């Protein structure tokens, strides 16, 4: 049974709601899920997982929410490699901000630096166009699972 590590952070709760939904869907498919809302660099070293999926919103000027910002800073310092493991990023944002879904770019770059396997483009969801983020996210998820061989 493939093990998926979900890193999930939010400011106002939408990305947590989406994390709930995705966890439910993956569990129904028989995947084993570990979900962390306040991960550290050690989460990548100590958790057993076959793939990592980040689900986050965007805040500030294209920034990650607080807990994932701390995680990102720690990873830049200690470099917990995830060699060859598939990773995916789902980001909520709003295209009225100049740095649309900048959080996705930050995590995409980080996971590449940590030697993860980039199986697909991050899923960037625009709150201006998509009132229910679960629809595009679940569509993206099916493709990501297939490309990751999960």
Ligand X SMILES: Cc1cc2nc3c(=O)[nH]c(=O)nc-3n(C[C@H](O)[C@H](O)[C@H](O)COP(=O)(O)O)c2cc1C
Contact letters for ligand X, residues 18-57 (x by CB under 6 A): ---------------------------------------x
**Segment lying near ligand X (by CB under 6 A), choices 23-31, 39-47, 91-99, 110-118:** 91-99
Among 19, 62, 86, 116, binds ligand X (CB under 6 A): 62
Which residue has the CB atom at the shortest distance from ligand X? 93
Contact between 58 and ligand X per CB under 6 A:
yes
Listed as own residue / partner, the contacts of 136-142 with beta carbons closer than 8 Å and 24 or more positions apart are 137/18, 137/21, 137/22, 137/55, 137/90, 138/21, 138/22, 138/25, 140/90, 141/22, 141/25, 141/26, 141/88, 141/90
Among 33, 50, 80, 97, binds ligand X (CB under 6 A): 97
Instruction: Give CA–CA dist 128/53, Å, rounded.
Output: 24
User: Applying CB under 6 A, which residues contact ligand X?
Assistant: 10-15, 57-62, 92-94, 97, 99-102, 127
């Amino acid at each position: 049974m493939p093990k998926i590590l979900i890193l999930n952070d939010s400011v106002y709760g939408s990305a947590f709601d989406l994390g709930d939904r995705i966890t439910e869907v993956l569990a129904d498919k028989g995947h084993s899920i570990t979900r962390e809302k306040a991960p550290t660099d050690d989460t990548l070293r100590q958790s057993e997982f076959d793939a990592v999926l980040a689900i986050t919103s965007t805040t500030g000027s294209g920034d990650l929410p607080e807990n994932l910002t701390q995680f990102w800073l720690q990873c830049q310092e200690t470099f917990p490699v995830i060699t060859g493991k598939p990773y995916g990023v789902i980001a909520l944002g709003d295209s009225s901000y100049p740095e649309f879904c900048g959080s996705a770019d930050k995590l995409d770059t980080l996971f590449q630096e940590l030697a993860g396997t980039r199986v697909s483009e991050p899923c960037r969801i625009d709150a201006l166009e998509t009132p229910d983020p679960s629809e595009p996210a679940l569509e993206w998820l099916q493709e990501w699972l297939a490309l990751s061989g999960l």
